[in-house]
């Protein structure tokens, strides 16, 4: 992986992680295009730079995350993240081994795009406008919706946003709660990829942090990737909130369909 590829992958992560377009799909296609999809360090890099995106959410909503008087906020996130942690541990690698292929992902992008085009019609009368009114039960249900993103191409953001709207949240609050829920979810995945998971690296099994420390260039790529993902995610989140407030989710639905069809044409 060279400097140009590092920058492109980090830009993709920052731009797509919190949008309902599947960052995983974009990463897989980009690494396939570059011919680096089988490299263990690249796979770990794509997961670990989510840490930069996580920090973007915390930076933008720091008042929410550091308001220690409102302990209910942390309780909701703790319960909401449990389904993804449990089901992810049990099934994620099995699902990816079957479905982490270009054609299934492209099809999922198209189908998800169709859902987003019509999603605003399904949930017309939201009742919950502030996070404080979300119950623990509703948070857990949204957490189960998030688990749909275990299927590559679905989008964690899209799944949890739809789950939020199904529970009566406004479009803006559903998106923001999706951001909040991403922090513990993605932090757990990132730490797992760095500390616990064994990766195939130059015909050796190594932990993520061991691969990073294996060379100075790996350290540089890891740091640079997280910095770029952080900066770009800051801008992407602000852009996303503005668009859904004004136009809803149709824009992202059409985008998913166009990208999915282009990828089907490219890979078939």
Rounded Cα distance between 108 and 22, Å, is 10
Average pLDDT over residues 50-60: 94
pLDDT in tens, 67-118: 888 889 999 999 999 998 888 777 666 656 655 677 888 899 999 999 999 8
Residue 145 confidence (pLDDT) above 60: yes
pLDDT value at residue 67: 85
Residue 263 confidence (pLDDT) above 90: no
pLDDT in tens, 183-206: 999 999 899 999 988 898 888 899
More confident residue, 152 or 73: 73
pLDDT value at residue 99: 53
Alpha-carbon separation of residue 43 from 36, 37, 171, 208 (angstroms): 9, 7, 33, 10
What are 128's strand-pairing partners?
Answer: 169
pLDDT in tens, 207-233: 999 999 999 999 999 999 999 999 999
Question: pLDDT > 70: what percent of the chain?
Answer: 96
pLDDT value at residue 24: 81
Average pLDDT over residues 17-26: 87
The backbone region for 155, taken as left when phi is positive above 0, alpha when psi lies in -120 to 50, beta otherwise, is left
Question: pLDDT > 90: what percent of the chain?
Answer: 57
Query: In the numeric block, which tokens belong to residue 78?
Result: 């703790």
pLDDT value at residue 96: 60
Rounded Cα distance between 253 and 236, Å, is 17
| N-to-C CA span, the chain | 26
Q: Which residue has the tokens 């490219």?
A: 266
Alpha-carbon separation of residue 15 from 18, 23, 175, 226 (angstroms): 7, 8, 15, 13
Average pLDDT of the chain is: 89
């Amino acid at each position: 992986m060279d400097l140009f590829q590092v920058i492109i992958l980090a830009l993709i992560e920052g731009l797509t992680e919190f949008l309902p377009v599947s960052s995983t799909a974009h990463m897989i296609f980009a690494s396939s295009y570059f011919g680096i999809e089988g490299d263990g360090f690249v796979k770990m890099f794509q997961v670990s730079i989510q840490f930069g995106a996580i920090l973007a959410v915390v930076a933008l909503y720091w008042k929410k995350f550091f308001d220690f008087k409102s302990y209910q906020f942390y309780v909701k996130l703790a319960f909401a993240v449990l389904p993804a942690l449990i089901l992810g541990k049990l099934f994620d690698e099995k699902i990816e081994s079957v479905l982490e292929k270009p054609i299934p992902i492209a099809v999922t992008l198209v189908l998800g795009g169709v859902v987003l085009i019509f999603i605003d019609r399904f949930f017309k009368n939201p009742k919950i406008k502030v996070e404080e009114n979300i119950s623990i039960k509703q948070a857990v249900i949204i957490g189960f919706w998030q688990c749909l993103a275990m299927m590559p191409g679905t989008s964690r953001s899209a799944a949890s946003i739809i789950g939020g709207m199904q529970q009566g949240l406004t479009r803006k609050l559903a998106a923001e709660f999706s951001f909040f829920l991403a922090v513990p979810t993605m932090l757990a995945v990132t730490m797992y990829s760095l500390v616990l998971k064994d990766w195939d690296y130059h015909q050796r099994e190594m932990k993520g942090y061991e691969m990073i420390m294996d060379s100075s260039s790996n350290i540089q790529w890891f740091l640079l990737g997280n910095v770029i993902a952080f900066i770009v995610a800051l801008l992407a989140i602000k852009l996303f909130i503005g668009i859904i407030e004004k136009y809803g989710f149709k824009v992202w639905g059409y985008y998913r369909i166009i990208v999915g069809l282009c990828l089907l044409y490219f890979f078939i």
